[in-house]
Each structure stands twice: as C-alpha cells, then as structure tokens.
C-alpha cells in the first residue's frame, strides 16, 4: 500500500497560524505505521517538492475566509481552494497557489484531502484561540477517518 503523507502547515509562533502543526502533534499520539507526518512553513514551491510523486496526501492549514474561527472546510482535487485562501506572504505563492500550479503541471496527488481551519488571531506568541483549539480535535478525527478508508478509486470522477 502506498505510504500516506500528512503535512501540517504553519508557524506555531503566530497564534492560530500554528493550527496545522498542532494537528500533526495530535496525530503523533496515534499508532500510524503507514503514515508519514511532516510540518512545513507554507512556502508553495517547498510544499510542491514535498508532495511531488506522492499518491495519498493530506494537507492541513489555517485559513482566512471571513467565517467563524474554528470553522472546518474540506477541499479535494475536484474542488481546490481559491487563491488567497491560505495567505502565506506578500509574494502570494502559498498553499492554494501551489495546489493550482501542481494541478496544471499534473503533479497533484491522485488522492488528496485539504483541511482548512479558519483562524481568528495570528498575533506573535499567542496560543490557539479556544474555538481553533477545539477544531484541532475535529480535524484530527476527520483526518484519521480519511486515512482509514481505502484509497480513492481511479479514475477520480468515479469515486464521488
């Protein structure tokens, strides 16, 4: 079976931006022999290098869409997040842009789950806001469930 890769994206020193890394920390409590856990700071080209050649990948990152902090959204290869949803820097080459570029280059993992968690506060040195900390549990459970299901059938469109 193909190895699963889960990437938690963000900076734990920037408040809710650390939620992706917090999910990885929580996943480490579970025995997951076939799952590789990684953290990344969110620069698009580096992310693409991490998932290039992988079949089954989960990405989890803080999101800024204007909804309630702690809101969870799931994205798939058929419905990728729109540019700007996962702000990373003023260069605007973050997760959403990297996913789109990967799709164009045919490098997107066939089996992909993107979990966005709405952040509330990104101030340096702050802990996760309570709603976002709760979402860490929900997101972890959702990822565990996704990992326990069989890989998506190919062709893609047949599986949903």
User: Where does this chain bind other proteins (CB under 8 A)?
Assistant: 41, 43, 45-46, 48-49, 87, 89-93, 97, 100-101, 104-106
Separation of alpha carbons 129 and 132, rounded Å: 5
DSSP state letter for 70: T
**Least distance in angstroms from the C-beta of 45 to other proteins:** 6
Bridge partners of 112, per DSSP, are 57
Instruction: Please enumerate in sequence order all residues whose Cβ is within 8 A of that of 49, keeping only pairs 6 or more positions apart, or say none.
Output: none
Please say which residue, 121 or 147, places its beta carbon nearer to other proteins.
121
**Least distance in angstroms from the C-beta of 89 to other proteins:** 6
Please say which residue, 102 or 140, places its beta carbon nearer to other proteins.
102
Please say which residue, 97 or 118, places its beta carbon nearer to other proteins.
97
Separation of alpha carbons 61 and 11, rounded Å: 10
**Least distance in angstroms from the C-beta of 106 to other proteins:** 8
Please say which residue, 4 or 20, places its beta carbon nearer to other proteins.
20
- CA dihedral of 55, 146, 95, 36, whole degrees rounded to 10: -60
């Amino acid at each position: 079976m193909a190895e699963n890769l889960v990437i938690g994206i963000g900076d734990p020193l920037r408040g809710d931006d650390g939620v992706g890394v917090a999910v990885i920390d929580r996943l480490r409590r579970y025995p997951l022999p076939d799952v590789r856990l990684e953290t990344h700071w969110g620069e698009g080209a580096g992310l693409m290098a991490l998932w290039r050649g992988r079949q089954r990948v989960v990405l989890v990152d803080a999101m800024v869409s204007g909804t309630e902090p702690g809101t969870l959204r799931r994205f798939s290869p058929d419905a990728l997040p729109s540019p700007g949803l996962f702000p990373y820097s003023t260069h605007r080459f973050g997760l959403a842009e990297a996913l789109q570029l990967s799709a164009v280059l045919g490098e997107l993992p066939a089996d992909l789950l993107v979990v966005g968690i709405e952040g509330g506060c990104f101030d340096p040195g702050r802990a996760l806001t309570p709603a976002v900390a709760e979402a860490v549990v929900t997101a972890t459970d959702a990822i565990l469930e996704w990992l326990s299901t069989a890989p998506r059938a190919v062709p893609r469109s047949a599986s949903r």
